[in-house]
Amino acid sequence: MKKRTLLSLLATAPFVARAQGWSPDKPIKLVVPFAAGGSTDITARLVAQALGDRLGQPMVVENRPGAGGNIGAEAVARAAPDGQTLFMATSGIIGANKALYRTLPFDPVRDFAPISQVAFVPNILVVGPSMPATSIADLIARVKARPGEVTYGSAGIGTSQHMAGALFAQRAGLNMIHVPYRGGAPANTDLVSGKIDFIMSPLVEVLAHIRAGTLKPLGVTTLRRSPLFPDVPTIAETMPGFEIALWSGLMAPAGTPVAAVQRLAVETAAVLRTPELRGKLAEQGSEPVGSNPDEFASFMQRDIPKWTEIVRLSGATAD
């Protein structure tokens, strides 16, 4: 056995031990705080199928979109802490929304129990038929030539698309119109039809459109190019330092029994190690993670200040 594998098993052993003795006794509800068909929904449904099989109970996805994910998050924060209601959290809801909204009906840290980080998800800037730009530099020039006219869409106020677009506008000194939708799917539909000009969408949501040629990719928001589209540059290659790195992860209401949290974490990490699920996520441009609750909590502690700074730099607000 390789040294790294042995150390990994030793680190995981306490979590596995504490997970013994809890099993769900009815179907588990997984709340997705965005509309069906979006990036978070697609990832959630893949994980739900595999995780439900391991737990011996079906996992039912319930979409609760609205208010940048806050409606779904609040529903889970108020749910019974029994391990039967989970939440597919995102970097926007946990990291950005506290800085975007004057008040929230929940506390992103205090009201949830971290289970496992699920995946990192790149965003990609794609233009529709109403925008003939061929590069990031060309897009910037065209927006500057039409101040206050070019539109960019998002899955809602405070979502990653909103933050990425607002930060892009701030960094390039652009005057654009933000058009929020109730989810990524309707935003992308309007983009394809030419009703809006561009969007910085999670890659999985626009993958089919890029491959079909109905949307044109100009740049990814991560610092590294996507393995799926190695010829598409990063936005940072034109705008040094530009980065929006998204993530998703499973959470439960605060107060959920430790045994339930640990069992869910162990099984989530296990399904994210399977070649089948890793392959499906990789096909969408996502990078599977699979962490234990302590690791996930530590990651969020480091990540939340980064999103607070992104909100400040972007000048975005949800009120």
pLDDT tens per residue, range 277-294? 999 999 888 999 999 999
Q: Which CATH architecture has domain 3-121+245-314?
A: 3-Layer(aba) Sandwich (3.40)
d(CA 227, CA 101): 35
The whole-angstrom separation of Cα 167 and Cα 31 is 28
pLDDT for position 313 = 83
Q: Tell me the two tokens of residue 59.
A: 């996992």
pLDDT for the residue 1: 39
- Closest by CA to 43, choosing from 95, 127, 117, is 117
Residue 35's pLDDT is what?
A: 85
According to the model, what pLDDT value does residue 2 have? 44
Q: Say if CB 101 and CB 159 are below 8 A apart.
A: no
Domain covering 122-237 assigned CATH 3.40.190.10 in the classification:
yes
3-121+245-314 and 122-237: same fold? yes
- DSSP designation for 153: E
If you write DSSP's letter for every residue of 188-256 in order, what string do you get?
Answer: HHHHHHTSSSEEEEEHHHHHHHHHHTSSEEEEESSSS--TT-TTSPBGGGTSTT---EEEEEEEEETT-
- Predicted confidence (pLDDT) per residue in 6-32, tens digit: 454 455 555 554 556 799 999 999 999
Note whether 220 and 226 are within 8 A (CB). yes
Rounded Cα distance between 193 and 185, Å, is 13
pLDDT along the chain (319 residues), means of 10: 46 51 93 89 95 96 92 97 97 91 94 97 94 98 98 87 92 96 89 97 92 97 92 97 93 98 97 96 91 97 92 82
DSSP state, 15? H
**In the chain, where the domains are located:** 3-121+245-314, 122-237
